[in-house]
Chains A and B, each alone.
Chain A
Amino acid sequence: MHDSVTDDLKTALKQLIIEECDKDEFTPADIGDDDALLGGDLDLDSLDVLQICMAVKNQYGVRIEGNTAARRALKSINALAQTIVDSKAG
């Protein structure tokens, strides 16, 4: 279902992050595809990272395990979407 990075997937991931991290002052439109998720305007912390990884696993069946992999995948929305697509392809 996600064999390529689509705008729908990216919007869905933005929505997932806003909901899982309780960032309700943001809308998907506020998050740029290449914006830094950690340390940027969203300012997510390590607990948010764990929360997002668990939600991605439950929703997309994609495991992002370990601190290094998580930080790489959560570099930006584009990176996260690509991680999901790559994992599905693999």
Chain B
Amino acid sequence: MIYLDNHYSLLHRIDPEATSLPDLQEIIRACHGSRIRRIDRYIQLCLAGGLSCVGERELPGNTGVYLASRCGAVDTSARVMHAMEVAGEQPKPLHFVNTLGNSAGFYLTQLLGLTGNTVVVSAEELSFEAALAHACIDLALGQVGAALVGGFDEVTLPLASQRERLGAAHSSAAMLEGSHWLLLQRHRCKAGSQKTLLPPRYFTDLEQWCESERAVEQSPGLQLAFAPSAQEQQALAGLAYQVYLPENGALAHGVWSGAALTALLDQGVGVHLAKAGESYCALSVTHA
């Protein structure tokens, strides 16, 4: 059984005309007590979310850290490429190291005093679920006693470039930037909410899955992290579900499904359903 100790989500709306981004160092300072130097926005998103989710808790030494990002440190990678191709300069050492996959986890584990299992995974729109699935595997195998799971993706300026990378060059919508976190325990914790979750299940046959969901008595409710197509709506017929989408038509990107899952946890319990391409991933949260 996997117990949910805490969850945390940070979600910023970035206006289409934005020329600056919300300050994250202030959130980090509030948790850690001082500013961390040399970290880019991608790492800042990791620290702001991760430290906020842990709060004052003492984590067991064998806490695993499971990080998810769909796109990684885009802004710093772009700076490195610009320096080489336009300025004709070598990448700055600090920029290069911040483009590497482990840098965010390095700072987070250092601040939390963790030296155990750390991994960074990605899986398109199911990136958050991928990190969560890794945590569930390690909790089930007893590789870790607790798991800190976080997903984050940055918005970069200028927004027009970011939209172009995301294949939404013609959009004029606002963008969302988030960092979404879960703290999971292998054993029931003394305090905290008493919710449990079942490991994510992957499938491609939505109809068949809906069939089995319809058979569940007293279903706790289903939340979709995507707008269902007409065909998907047909498959879902008869199931009570809600769709979690950004307010005011903002552009969902990156680990958006992490925002959906943490929002579901804010409300209580239920079944979370997300998708990438032809693949679906479902996850149930119940009261212990």
A/B: CB atoms within 8 Å of each other: yes
Residues of A at the B interface (CB closer than 8 Å) are 20-25, 47, 50-51, 54-55, 58
Question: Are A54 and B38 neighbours in the complex by a CB distance under 8 Å?
Answer: no
* Interface residue stretch chosen among B90-98, B110-118, B126-134: B90-98
Chain B residues with CB below 8 A from A58, complex form? 89
Asked whether B37 is an interface residue with its Cβ less than 8 Å from the other chain, the reply is: yes
Which residues of A have CB within 8 Å of B35?
24-25
B interface list, Cβ under 8 A from A: 35, 37-38, 89-90, 92-94, 97
Q: A47 to B37, Cβ gap below 8 A? A: no
Q: Is the CB of A22 within 8 A of B92?
A: no
Question: Which one of B37, B92, B97 contacts A55 once the chains associate, using CB atoms below 8 Å?
Answer: B92
Q: Which residues of A contact B89 (CB under 8 A)?
A: 58
Q: Which residues of A contact B90 (CB under 8 A)?
A: 54
Contact A47 B92 (CB under 8 A): no
B87 nearest in chain A by CB position: A58
Residue ID in chain A nearest B97 by CB atoms: A47
Using A25-B35, A47-B38, A50-B93 as known contacts, list a sample of 5 further A-B pairs with CB atoms less than 8 Å apart, ordered by residue number in A: A20-B92, A20-B94, A21-B37, A22-B38, A47-B94
Contact of B93 among A22, A24, A47 (CB under 8 A): A47
| CB–CB A51/B37 < 8 A | no
Q: How far is the CA of A16 from the CA of B146 in the complex (A)?
A: 43
Nearest CB of chain B from residue A48's CB, rounded to whole Å = 8
- Distance to closest chain A CB from B110 (angstroms): 14
Main secondary structure of the interface of B (DSSP, over half): loop
Closest to A25 in B: B35
A23 neighbours in B (Cβ, 8 Å): 37
Tell me how far the C-beta of B145 lies from the nearest C-beta in chain A, rounded to whole angstroms. 33
Bound-state CA distance A58–B37 (Å) is: 22
CB distance from A43 to the nearest CB of B (A): 10
CB distance from B32 to the nearest CB of A (A): 15
Q: Which B residues are CB-close (under 8 A) to A55? A: 92
Chain B residues with CB under 8 A of A24 = 35, 37
Question: In the docked arrangement, what's the CA distance between A50 and B92, Å?
Answer: 8
Taken together as a complex, chains A and B put the C-alpha atoms of A20 and B38 apart, in Å, by 9
Q: Which of B35, B38, B93 has the most CB of A within 10 A?
A: B93
Q: Do A22 and B37 contact each other (CB < 8 Å), given the known contacts A54-B90, A54-B92, A58-B89? A: yes
- In the assembled complex, the CB of B261 is this many whole angstroms from the nearest CB of chain A, namely 34
Min distance, Cβ A84 to any Cβ of chain B, angstroms: 18
Q: How many angstroms from the CA of A24 to the CA of B89 in the assembled complex?
A: 25
Sort A-B residue pairs by CB-CB distance and give the 3 closest, nearest first.
A22-B37, A50-B93, A22-B38
Q: Which residues of A contact B93 (CB under 8 A)?
A: 47, 50-51, 54
B29 CB to nearest chain A CB (Å): 12
Closest beta carbon of chain A to B35's beta carbon, Å: 8
Docked pose: A54 CA to B38 CA in angstroms: 16
What residue in chain A is nearest B93 (Cβ atoms)?
A50
A-B contact pairs, 20 of them (CB 8 A): A20-B92, A20-B94, A21-B37, A21-B38, A22-B94, A23-B37, A24-B35, A24-B37, A25-B35, A47-B38, A47-B93, A47-B97, A50-B93, A51-B92, A51-B93, A51-B94, A54-B92, A54-B93, A55-B92, A58-B89
